[in-house]
Amino acid sequence: MSWFRRDKPKISDEDTDSDRTVRTEGIFVKCPECENALYKRELTESHEVCTHCGYHFRYSAEHRLRDLFDDGRYEKLDEEVMSSDPLGFFDSKPYKDRIEQAKNSSGLPEAIVSGKGFVGGHLVYAGAMDMSFIGGSMGSAVGEKITRLIERAIDTRGAVVVFAASGGARMQEGTLSLMQMGKISAALARLHDKRLPFISVLTDPTTGGVTASFAMLGDVNIAEPKALIGFAGPRVIEQTIRQKLPKGFQRSEFLLEHGMLDAVVDRREMKDTIVRFLDFMMNPEIAA
């Protein structure tokens, strides 16, 4: 005879499986690199960098600018500059429809967000590209917005910082998109003549015409860890030269080792690193 009797908890007919289930959807994120479960709030606090292995998740343009500018405050620029359809391009759907779809899904007016503010007390004009808008591709509007950033910096003696994240030139705009490569490069040459700094930050991925133009023209070229950076993709190169590529080819660390980058910097240390470069390059004695 037992001294104690355990009564089973009563479950009413009104209770459902969902009432007895612990809801974890949206609370944890799985890291694709180390496969650890990450608490979403901690991931946000670490700037979308895995706290176990340092894997850098893709980051939105607005988050990048908020992290860069002092107190996260900046003035948005050129929001009225948006893509049009100069060629009347049509593939599986009209280009105009693709633009509207991209605006709705990304919540952005274009593949780059531009802003003006202060970074470490220095006047900075910054742009951040966003992969969620047609793969961060560079069309006429993106080229115009970057060029305007540079021209404003020349007029007011500010610095330029651009976070690149792109699949390259936007094919739906044909030659007009390719013209942006020369247009931005020419503006950067004028910025250089005025002895004003351009800091280029390459993120995952930075490819095609963006890499072949302004992304690699910085006075300082910085990349996030393990970012894919190149002109053609690895599979295209392998198929062309019919050779196996080296391990880590076109990743940030490979480019740093071969002299194509100045630094590979963790996102959590990015602002402090940029401020140190600005302190040096905006020094009147050095710029003279």
Please choose, from the candidates 186, 125, 181, 202, the residue with its C-alpha nearest in 3D space to the C-alpha of residue 156: 125
Distance CA 29, CA 38 (A): 5
Q: What is the pLDDT of residues 63-75, one digit of tens each?
A: 999 999 999 999 9
Q: What is the mean pLDDT of residues 253-264?
A: 97
SS3 37: strand
Beta strand 37-39 with 28-30 is antiparallel
Rounded to two decimals, the pTM is 0.89
SS3 40: helix
Domain layout of the chain by residue ranges: 23-57, 59-287
Please choose, from the candidates 56, 63, 76, 85, the residue with its C-alpha nearest in 3D space to the C-alpha of residue 117: 76
pLDDT score recorded for residue 168: 96
pLDDT score recorded for residue 283: 83
Q: What is the pLDDT of residues 71-98, one digit of tens each?
A: 999 999 999 999 999 999 999 999 999 9
pLDDT score recorded for residue 42: 94
Hey, what CATH topology would domain 59-287 get? 2-enoyl-CoA Hydratase; Chain A, domain 1 (3.90.226)
Q: What is the pLDDT of residues 3-35, one digit of tens each?
A: 556 665 555 555 555 555 556 567 899 999 999
Is a pLDDT exceeding 70 seen at residue 55? yes
Distance CA 242, CA 253 (A): 24
